């Protein structure tokens, strides 16, 4: 039994100033160092409680415990993917290329149609949530997911290629309650090379 293997906050692949003006340094630091870190702490805390109960052969409420773990771990995984699919403007292409571009053209008809549908998913997510582009291995097609919280309405087995956090903590310092403005800004800092790499990995 080992809670020595715990989760950790990932380092960013860019400087905290590099996504401005689309995401300010203050907003980025708060999001990464406070909010994301809280999910890491939460997930590790649940694992430690489970480990303690096992050592002491004590009963715990598995339903509520695993629900809490799902929430925190989902938050950690989605945020880790989110940081990875961001890049400073000009450091990546402005749209997908290669196999991902071909698959998106086949599925959505055009990149602009995909962008429209993804934007609608992000803007219309109820409360706190995410928009995600995923790959369905069963049908070998890209599919958009609208995730509530961190763990509701996900498609089991689908690999996430691109994800956008639309919790208010992701944008409120920069955009107040104007989620649509944040979503519009997001398209300037998408790391399409990373999304393409994830897609190619999903095909293997």
Alpha-carbon span 42 to 36, nearest angstrom = 10
Per-residue confidence (pLDDT) for residue 92, from 0 to 100: 85
Task: Say if CB 183 and CB 123 are below 8 A apart.
Answer: yes
Domains of the chain: 23-204 (3.55.40.20)
Eight-class DSSP state of 33: I
CA distances from 153 to 26, 119, 131, 158, 190 (A): 31, 17, 11, 12, 23
**Buried-state track 174-203, b at ≥16 Cβ within 10 A, e below 16:** bbeeebeebbebbeebbbbbbbbebbeebe
Per-residue pLDDT of the chain (204 residues; tens, 9 = 90+): 555 689 999 999 999 999 999 999 999 999 999 999 999 999 999 999 999 999 999 999 999 999 999 999 999 999 999 999 999 998 989 999 999 999 999 999 999 999 999 999 999 999 899 999 999 999 999 999 999 999 999 999 999 999 999 999 999 999 999 999 999 999 999 999 999 999 999 999
Eight-class DSSP state of 12: P
Backbone dihedral angles phi then psi of residue 136, each to the nearest 5 degrees: -90, 115
Per-residue confidence (pLDDT) for residue 2, from 0 to 100: 53
Per-residue confidence (pLDDT) for residue 4, from 0 to 100: 65
């Amino acid at each position: 039994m080992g809670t020595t293997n715990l989760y950790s906050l990932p380092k960013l692949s860019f400087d905290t100033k590099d996504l401005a003006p689309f995401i300010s340094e203050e907003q980025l630091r708060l999001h990464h160092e406070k909010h994301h870190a809280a999910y890491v702490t939460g997930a590790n805390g649940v694992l430690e409680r489970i480990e303690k109960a096992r050592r002491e052969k004590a009963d715990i409420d598995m339903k509520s415990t695993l629900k809490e773990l799902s929430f925190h771990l989902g938050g950690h995984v989605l945020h880790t993917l989110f940081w990875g699919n961001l890049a400073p403007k000009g450091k990546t292409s402005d749209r997908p290329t290669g196999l991902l571009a071909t698959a998106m053209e086949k599925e959505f008809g055009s990149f602009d149609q995909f962008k429209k549908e993804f934007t609608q998913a992000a803007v219309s997510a109820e409360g706190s949530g995410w928009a995600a582009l995923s790959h369905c291995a069963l049908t070998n097609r890209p599919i958009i997911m609208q995730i509530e919280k961190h763990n509701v309405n996900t498609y089991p087995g689908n690999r996430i290629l691109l994800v956008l956090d639309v919790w208010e903590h992701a944008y409120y310092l920069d955009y107040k309650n104007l989620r649509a403005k944040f979503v519009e800004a997001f398209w300037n800092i998408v790391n399409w090379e990373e999304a393409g790499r994830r897609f190619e990995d999903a095909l293997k």
